A = this chain, B = another copy of it.
Amino acid sequence: MIVPLGKSLVADELPILERHGLSMWEYVVLNALDERPTRTQSALADAIGADKTRIIPVLDELQRRRLIKRRPDESDRRVRLLSLTADGLRVRTATQAEIQRGEEERLRALTPTQRRGFLAGLQILSAAAGDADR
């Protein structure tokens, strides 16, 4: 049940992302960079469950559009320091707000108790899954 539900949620998000000019991976990267500062591209890839080779074109594009900054670390010139720009934060916030409105819409089908249980359960299972995958 979970996988098809995920697909359905993604299908809802795609038009929203497109309106904001973002691909799914670009949106995931903006979210990850906003939540916790990430020092290396490998760590970022790990954090979002992507391959390090796969996010490179994503970072290239985000940098080109000035949504992220990516500069070499002076103390270890192999690593690139990644951070959101003001524009990047703005786009991320606007996009996330719109997506959350859609999610609220879906959650209206649940009673308050179901809703609380569902969200709590989801967070716990999600965190446990993240731990297990390391």
Contact = CB atoms under 8 A, between A and B. Distances in A.
Interface of A: 1-11, 49, 106-107, 109-110, 113-118, 120-126, 128-130, 132-133
Contact of A5 (B2, B11, B115, B120): B2
Contact of A121 (B9, B117, B132): B117
Given A2-B6, A10-B3, A122 B129 contact: no
A22 to B, nearest CB: 16
Given A114-B120, A115-B121, A118-B117, A5 B126 contact: yes
16 contacts: A1-B126, A2-B5, A2-B9, A3-B10, A4-B49, A4-B130, A7-B49, A8-B129, A106-B129, A109-B125, A113-B117, A114-B117, A115-B117, A116-B117, A117-B121, A121-B121
A21 to B, nearest CB: 21
A115 B117 CA distance: 7
Contacts of A6: 2-3, 5-6
